[in-house]
């Protein structure tokens, strides 16, 4: 394969810099085309870096705007903000994540056709394109976004396999595996996200956007939306600060935000750092390896930035965090906000244990998230109406 994902912030920034010339009209014209694993020139290949916030959405948008302006780069900016939107949408509806996990676990235990699942995951269904995408995903940890949509549609509507097992297959193999983007994208394809609206892959569309490489036969030509219980009314987002000015604290760095030094001020009273790979929460080997490398990079960067010692934690649990704080003789712990997903679930479960040990947890949220997430109460097309005003408020554009 002609690309790789070195797990460092510097590599992410270098990749962003290399993509900037193509992030305007070139991206808009070619973004739907998948030329295969050696032909991803029309995509930024930044998703693993954004997923773990080795670089952040704001940094990407700022760089793109400086190069092209909002009109020329509108499509790419919207693509980046889809990630922000999915995060905010799930943050206000955490039960959707819990429900996915329950549905996945039930399907794992009770779906009767294990052979069909194995064929789909190994790329031996005989469906042109689909089989190659399955193998590409397993081999590289990456798929073009359009291929992800085609794959999910064929999995759900042609093969008629449980959507939750398909979403789980992606989580186990994608380097950029993400609770919000992955789960909600699969729901969108299946008609669960936008009630009654499905995404149905067609042979013509696949042929057109793969340059004629694939011409699958026998794809479903009609589909009914999947059915699920109604989604709860969006919950209000908690108000959280983006800075800490209290007593000396341990900075806890998780795979949800691996560049906190880029936004938590240098004069914050950080006296020690603990970087965890949260390997006990990992979905798959490729993602875990990327996170392990990113943690090495983060430990060096963040320790140098705050001029303090760094402890490395292989797992994320109460005992490990308490031990790191006690080792540094600290009773205050600062951490970037973990959005809905395994890290958030783990932190919520053991926060009482921190309190019992005399520790106080201070959670900070990036201003970008606090600004954009509240607009994710409805669909993306409502959300995107707020983008210009919020970019103005962030100081990234002028009137």
Where do the domains of the chain lie? 9-91+372-393, 111-209, 249-364
What span, in angstroms and rounded, lies between the C-alpha atoms of 392 and 292?
36
Burial 174-184 (b: 16+ CB within 10 A, else e): bbbbbbbbbbb
The pLDDT assigned to 195 comes to 81
How confident is the model at residue 362, as a pLDDT?
98
The pLDDT assigned to 271 comes to 98
Q: Provide the token pair at 299.
A: 């430990």
Q: How far apart are CA 41 and CA 24, in angstroms?
A: 13
Q: What single string gives the DSSP state of each residue in 353-375?
A: HHHHTT-EEEEE--HHHHHHGGG
Q: Which pLDDT score, from 0 to 100, does residue 297 have?
A: 98
Two tokens, residue 124: 């031996």
CA 130 to chain centre: 23
pLDDT score recorded for residue 2: 55
Q: For residue 232, which phi and psi values (nearest 5 degrees)?
A: -65, 155
What three-state secondary structure class fits 336?
A: strand
State the Cα–Cα distance between residues 286 and 98, nearest whole angstrom: 24
Terminal Cα distance for the chain, rounded: 44
> Nearest to residue 133, comparing CAs of 100, 173, 165, 97?
173
Give how far Cα 51 sits from Cα of 230, 255, 339, Å.
28, 9, 11
What does residue 301 show for φ and ψ, rounded to 5 degrees? Answer: -60, -50
Cα three-residue angle 384-185-128, rounded to 5 degrees = 125
For domain 111-209, say whether CATH 3.40.190.10 is its number. Answer: no
| pLDDT score recorded for residue 16 | 98
SS3 category, 180: helix
Helix or strand or coil: residue 131? helix
Beta-sheet pairing, 270-276 with 309-313: parallel
pLDDT at 308: 97
**By the 8 A CB rule, do 15 and 59 touch?**
no
Q: Which residue is it, tokens 């408020």?
A: 393
d(CA 294, CA 279) in angstroms, rounded, equals 13
Does 249-364 carry CATH code 3.30.43.10?
no
Do the beta carbons of residue 14 and residue 303 sit within 8 Å?
A: no
How many helices and strands (H and E) does the chain possess?
A: 18, 5
HSE on the CB side for 279, CA within 13 Å?
Answer: 15
- CATH code linked to domain 9-91+372-393: 1.25.40.80
- In angstroms, rounded to a whole number, what is the distance separating the alpha carbons of residues 214 and 286? 27
Task: Determine the Cα angle at 110 with ends 135 and 103, to 5°.
Answer: 75
Residues of the chain predicted below pLDDT 70: 1-2
């Amino acid at each position: 394969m002609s690309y790789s994902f070195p797990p460092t912030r510097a590599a992410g920034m270098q990749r962003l810099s290399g993509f900037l010339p193509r992030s305007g009209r070139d991206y808009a014209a070619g973004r739907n085309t998948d030329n295969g694993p050696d032909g991803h020139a029309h995509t930024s290949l930044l998703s693993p870096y954004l997923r773990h916030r080795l670089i952040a959405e704001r940094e990407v948008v700022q760089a793109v705007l400086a190069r092209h302006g909002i009109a020329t780069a509108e499509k790419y900016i919207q693509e980046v903000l889809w990630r922000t939107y999915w995060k905010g949408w799930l943050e206000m509806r955490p039960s959707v994540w819990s429900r996915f996990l329950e549905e996945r676990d039930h399907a794992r235990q009770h779906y009767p056709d294990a052979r069909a699942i194995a064929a789909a995951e190994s790329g031996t269904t005989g469906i042109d394109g689909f089989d190659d995408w399955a193998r590409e995903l397993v081999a590289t940890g990456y798929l073009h976004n359009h291929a992800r949509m085609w794959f999910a549609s064929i999995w759900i509507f042609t093969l008629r396999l449980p959507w939750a097992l398909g979403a789980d297959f992606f989580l186990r193999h994608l380097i950029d595996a993400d609770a919000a983007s992955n789960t909600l994208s699969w729901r969108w394809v299946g008609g669960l996200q936008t009630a009654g609206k499905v995404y149905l892959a067609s042979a013509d569309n696949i042929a057109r956007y793969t340059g004629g490489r694939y011409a699958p036969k026998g794809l479903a030509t009609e589909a009914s939306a999947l059915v699920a219980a109604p989604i709860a009314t969006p919950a209000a987002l908690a108000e959280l600060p983006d800075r800490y000015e209290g007593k000396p604290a341990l900075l806890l760095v998780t795979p949800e935000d691996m560049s906190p030094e880029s936004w938590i001020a240098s004069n914050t009273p950080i006296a020690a750092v603990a970087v965890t790979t949260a390997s006990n929460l990992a979905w798959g080997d490729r993602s875990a390896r990327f996170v392990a490398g990113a943690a090495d990079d983060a430990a060096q960067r963040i320790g140098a930035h705050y001029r303090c010692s760094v402890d490395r934690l292989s797992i994320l649990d109460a005992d490990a965090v308490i031990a790191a704080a006690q080792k540094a003789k600290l009773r205050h712990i600062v951490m970037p906000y973990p959005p809905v997903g395994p890290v958030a679930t783990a932190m919520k479960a053991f926060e009482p244990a921190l309190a019992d040990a005399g520790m106080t947890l201070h959670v900070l949220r990036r201003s970008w998230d606090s600004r954009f997430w509240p607009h994710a109460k409805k669909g993306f097309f409502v959300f995107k109406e707020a983008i210009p005003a919020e970019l103005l408020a962030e100081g990234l554009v002028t009137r």
